[in-house]
Amino acid sequence: MEQDKRKVITEYLKGPRDYNEGVALYQRFGVNLMLKRRFVVDDTATTREILFDELRKIAGLTESEFAALPRRAKTKQAMIETKAPVKTVPVDDETALIELADSFGVSVDELVSPDFQERVLAMDDNADRIDELTEELEKARSKYAEAPEPVRKMIRFREKYPFLNSPDCPDILKVLVADMFTAYGNYKAAFVRLQTLGDADSAQAAAECETIVTEYLKNREIWDELEHYRETGSILGKAAKFREMEATEDLTALSDVELVGKLNSANSNVSKHKKKLDDAKAKGEENEKAAAAYEVWTQRKAALKAEVERRKKK
C-alpha cells in the first residue's frame, strides 16, 4: 500500500500537476483536515506550492529528489479532456474582496460591516455615486456571507501576510506555511485524542501531551518567522527548518571520514525510527514523533548520500 501510494503521487508530480487531480490525491492520502478544506476552497499560487510539498512528503520524497523529478508536458489529449472539477469557491471572488478592501484602505472584515457602508455613503465625496457604491458594497457583503469559514480564514491570512503571493517571496516561507498548517493539524488531532483517554492510559496521555507541546511550539516558531518578515522584510531564520537547511549546506566542509560517520549515524536513525513506525502500525496506532524523526533522518540520509556520490565523481 505504501509503495503504491508513493508510485501514484510520484507519477502525478512528474506530470503537469493539474491542481484538481492533486487535491483529489491529498483527499485520498492526506490526513490534515485543515489542509484538505483549504485545498478545496483556495486555489492560489501559494496553496499550490503547499499542496505539492505536502504530496512530496506523503510520497516520502526528499526536497532534492522532488526538485530532480523529470517533468512531462501536458498532452493535447489531456488538454481537451473535460473532467469534473473539484467544487470550489471562485478564487476571483476572494481576490476581488481583498482588492476592493485595499482600495478603501480597510480589511475585508471591516469592508463588509454595515457600519463601514454607512460611513462611506455618508461622505460628501461619494454623493454622486451612492447607488454605485451601495451595489458594490452589498455585492461584497453577499459574497463574503456565502463564503465558508475556511475561505474567510484564508482571506484574513492572505491580508495579514500579502507577501506570500508575491513573486519575490522566498520559497522557504511558503514551505514554512505548509509546515505551520500541518503542525496545527497535528496539535488539534493530539488534543482531541487526549480528551478520549482514561486514567489507565497514562503512558499514551504523556505521549499525546508531548505531541501537543511539540506541535504547538513548531506552529508558534513559524508564526514568529512570518511576523518578522512582515515587519522587517528579512528572514529571522530561527525555525527548525533553517537548522535542517544549514546542516545540509555544511556537508561540503566535512572530511571524508566525518561524512561517512554521519551517513552511518543517519542510516542507524532511519532504521530505528522506521522500526518504531512499523511497531505502531502493527498495533493499529500512530507515532507522530517517530514519523517526524523518520522524515528528518531520511532527508538527512539522502543529503549525505548525495554528497558522497558528488565526491566520487570528482
pLDDT in tens, 90-128: 444 666 777 777 776 677 777 778 777 777 777 766 667
* Domain shared by 142 and 170, yes or no: no
Question: If we measure between CA atoms, which residue out of 13, 23, 15 comes closest to residue 67?
Answer: 13
Indicate if the pLDDT at residue 75 is higher than 50: no
Assigned domain for 160 exists: no
Q: Which amino acid is at 190?
A: A
- pLDDT range class, residue 146, cuts 50, 70, 90: confident
Single residue among 106, 123, 155 that ends a domain in this structure: 155
215 pLDDT higher than 50: yes
Q: Does 308 reside within a domain? A: yes
Pair (79, 3) in one structural domain: yes
Q: Which residue has the higher pLDDT, 95 or 19?
A: 19
Taking the C-alpha atoms of residue 287 and residue 281, their distance in angstroms, rounded to an integer, is 8
Per-residue confidence (pLDDT) for residue 249, from 0 to 100: 56
Domain identity same for 102 and 45? no
CA atoms within 13 A on the CB side of 136: 18
Count of domains observed in the chain: 4
Predicted pLDDT at 88: 40
- Statement to judge: residues 183 and 207 lie in one domain: yes
Rounded to two decimals, what is the model's pTM? 0.45
Cα dihedral: 228, 234, 237, 242 (round 10): 130
Most confident of 45-54, 73-82, 171-180, 262-271: 262-271
User: What pLDDT shows up at residue 152?
Assistant: 72
- Together in a domain, 228 and 177: yes
Average pLDDT rounded to a whole number, residues 179-191 = 83
Q: Is 305 exposed, middle or buried, given 0-12, 13-18 or 19+ CB atoms closer than 10 A?
A: middle
Residue 136 lies in a domain: yes
The pLDDT assigned to 100 comes to 73
Say if residue 242 is in the same domain as residue 176: yes
Whether residue 120 is contained in a domain is answered as: yes
User: Which residue pairs from 94-101 have beta carbons closer than 8 angstroms and sit at least 24 positions apart in sequence?
Assistant: 94/42, 94/147, 94/151, 94/154, 94/155, 94/158, 96/140, 96/143, 97/140, 97/143, 97/144, 97/155, 98/155, 98/158, 98/159, 100/136, 100/140, 101/159
**Which has more pLDDT, 72 or 167?**
167
Is residue 276 in some structural domain?
yes
pLDDT greater than 80 at residue 2: no
Residue span of the structural domain in which 1 resides: 1-87+150-155
**Would you say residue 266 lies in a domain?**
yes
